Structure 1
Amino acid sequence: MQLINDQSTPAFPGERTVITIGAYDGVHVGHQAVIDHVRRVAAERGCKSVVVTFDQHPAFVVRPESAPKLLTGPAEKLVRLEATGVDAVVMVPFGEEQAAESPESFVKRVLIDHLDVAVIVVGEDFHFGQNREGNVDLLRKIGAEHDFSVEGLELLPRADGVDEPVSSTAIRRALAGGDVSRANEMLGHTYEVRGQVVKGDQRGRLLGFPTANVEVPNRLCLPADGVYAGRYERPDGTVHDCAINLGRRPTFYEHAETSLLEAHLLDFDGDLYSEPAIVRFTHFLRSERKFDGIDALIEQLRADTEHARTLLIDVR
């Protein structure tokens, strides 16, 4: 997959493109269906297949006070997009200047001059440009004047029968309820977060359950506080089963300000400090709660570890 960061010159001189545009946060099954369609149309027409996206979620610029937590950081987003088989990703810088650009200017500058677009494929509810003034109807109007067509696709329905399409918002809602199974179904892959292992208070080691304390960027979405089974990937690509505690550790702290992500790697003994980590959430085990004492907590940790081990046999 080709990554294009400069939109000042033609991306594919002499070739036309079939594109889709969007934030593509999560690269969920709905996104994947759109990109699959883009690739099919591009193959039929002998064009390049392209995803046009942004270097940050537009909401962080246009409404920072209510911007959503991200389902994918920049690195994971590119990995997920590459896995779709698309020919290229055009990464548009999104700042105040981009937010103020009119839809017509954006189409001319990026889609026509840079990409020589032949077909644009978007969801039927697609909006873009200053004050979200651009939509499918406007794209079709411009396309009639500049030799490109527009396909507005219906949003992909959820597989669980709920009368709501698959969307990044629906996935965030599932994660907020701790329902990682439903979130993973809508994503089409296991939900993961990436961060750095930092030193904690080492209480887990004293309890007999050492953990990697993973510091996750504040912009990333985390599931609800609780205990989960999951997988932990190290920088060398090795993957370990793990039990994950996400929360404020009420047994030890009365009023912790933020939740902490701790992963206990099963059957592992080694130093993880300062390593980057990928933590994947496969199963919700239980809600976080306060225990009467250390012995009760240790007993529950043993039960959580064995529960995670049993569930993760089917994940390998």
Structure 2
Amino acid sequence: MKTVNISHPLPAGIIAENAGPQIAALGQFDGVHQGHQSVIRSAVKLAQAKGVPAAVVTFHPHPKDVMKKGNYEGNLTPLQEKQELLAAMGVDILYVVDFNESFSQLSPKAFVDGMLLALEIQTAIVGFDFRFGHKGEGDAEMLRALGAGKMNVEIIPPFELEGQKVSSSSIRKALQAGELAEANRLLGHAYRLRGVVIDGDKRGRTIGFPTANLRLEDKYVVPAKGVYAVRSLVEGAWLSGVMNMGVKPTFQDGVTAPSYEVHLLDFDRDIYGQNLTVELISYIRPERKFPSIQELIAQIQADADTARRILESSK
């Protein structure tokens, strides 16, 4: 998949290099959840039938982050994660639109004429609730009207699971409530965190459970504090582990920023400075304070055993 960073107005070079018949799914697609997948797969299927590239047009940074509005608490899928998921779905071109204050003022017509039609998008495929242009005044029907005679528009209906509409907001709420199974069900894949392994206080090693302490690479939606069964991509291999995400109340008070500590099962190599991708597979329990180090150690061992059972059964 080719990634093309674009901004308005489109430079002549970008148009020359990328314009041509193509089918494009338009949207923020934060999470690339099952609803988003229905839109993107429609674009890929149509593009393959017509023998043209399948494209996705998305926006970065997240508009809610730029405009400081609404309930933005971070990304479900930062850009790198989104790129990997889209590539796996068969997308040929990812257009990443620079969303800034100036772009937020753009009229729906200017967006369609200056970007979509300039790139010769034959068909734009959008979800039923797609909004665009200044103050979100453009919707799917306006997109159809603005493209009349030049660009077809297909509108994909809501995607539902057991009568529930799948949405990024419902996934955020599920993660924050500790309902990981529900979040992963709506996503259609395991929720992931990615970061670099940094030096910690090394307390885990002294009690027999060394951990990889992560500094997250992006602003993520933070799940509920607690202990999770996880799989971690380490040096090209997926390894089983258990992650504590929280403030370590047994050892410290007054801390509000969570830490991310991953104990990899049956692993004891130095991976400081390496990047780690962590898939959250199952929520084991909430974080709590223990009256003694011995009780904490016993609970960590029980958590590791629980994680091992869960991960073995989910293979």
Q: TM-score, normalised by structure 2?
A: 0.93
Question: Which residues of 2 match residues 110-125 of structure 1 at below 5 A?
Answer: 110-113=115-118, 115-125=119-129
In structure 2, what residue type is equivalent to 1:19? Answer: A
Tell me the CA shift for residue 44 of structure 1: 2.8
In structure 2, what residue type is equivalent to 1:155? Answer: P
Deviations 1:125-161 (A, max 9, x none): 11011100111121121122x4222111111102xx2
Question: Which residues of 2 match residues 14-163 of structure 1 at below 5 A?
Answer: 15-63=20-68, 66-113=71-118, 115-144=119-148, 146-158=149-161, 161=162, 163=163
Tell me the CA shift for residue 183 of structure 1: 1.3
Q: Partners of 2:222 and 2:73 in 1: how far apart?
A: 12
Tell me the CA shift for residue 63 of structure 1: 2.1
Q: Partners of 1:311 and 1:135 in 2: how far apart?
A: 44
1:300 — aligned with what?
299
Distance 1:12 1:80, change over 3 A: same
Q: Partners of 2:243 and 2:73 in 1: how far apart?
A: 24
Runs of 4+ in 1 over 3 A off after TM superposition: 10-13
Matched, 1:184 2:184: yes
Distance 1:171 1:11, change over 3 A: farther
In structure 1, what residue type is equivalent to 2:211? Answer: T
Q: TM-score, normalised by structure 1?
A: 0.93
1:309 — aligned with what?
308
Question: Which residues of 2 match residues 185-204 of structure 1 at below 5 A?
Answer: 185-204=185-204
In structure 2, what residue type is equivalent to 1:206? Answer: T
Distance 1:11 1:120, change over 3 A: farther
Q: Partners of 1:53 and 1:178 in 2: how far apart?
A: 29
Deviations 1:177-227 (A, max 9, x none): 112211111111111100111111111111111111111146111210011
Tell me the CA shift for residue 47 of structure 1: 2.9
Count of equivalent residues? 309
The answer to which of 284-293 and 40-49 deviates more is 40-49
| Consecutive unaligned residues in structure 2, runs of 5 or more | none
Tell me the CA shift for residue 10 of structure 1: 4.2
Q: Partners of 1:197 and 1:77 in 2: how far apart?
A: 22
Partners of 2:196 and 2:217 within 8 A in 1: no
Q: Partners of 2:56 and 2:70 in 1: how far apart?
A: 28
Partners of 1:123 and 1:152 within 8 A in 2: yes
In structure 2, what residue type is equivalent to 1:212? Answer: A
1:233 — aligned with what?
233
Q: State the identity as a percent.
A: 38
Partners of 2:112 and 2:147 within 8 A in 1: no
In structure 1, what residue type is equivalent to 2:277? Answer: I
| Consecutive unaligned residues in structure 1, runs of 5 or more | none
Q: Partners of 2:65 and 2:291 in 1: how far apart?
A: 42
Distance 1:297 1:310, change over 3 A: same
Partners of 1:59 and 1:68 within 8 A in 2: no
Q: What is the Cα-based RMSD across aligned positions, in Å?
A: 1.6
Q: Partners of 2:272 and 2:47 in 1: how far apart?
A: 46
Q: Partners of 1:154 and 1:56 in 2: how far apart?
A: 26
Deviations 1:157-182 (A, max 9, x none): 02xx2x43111111111111112211
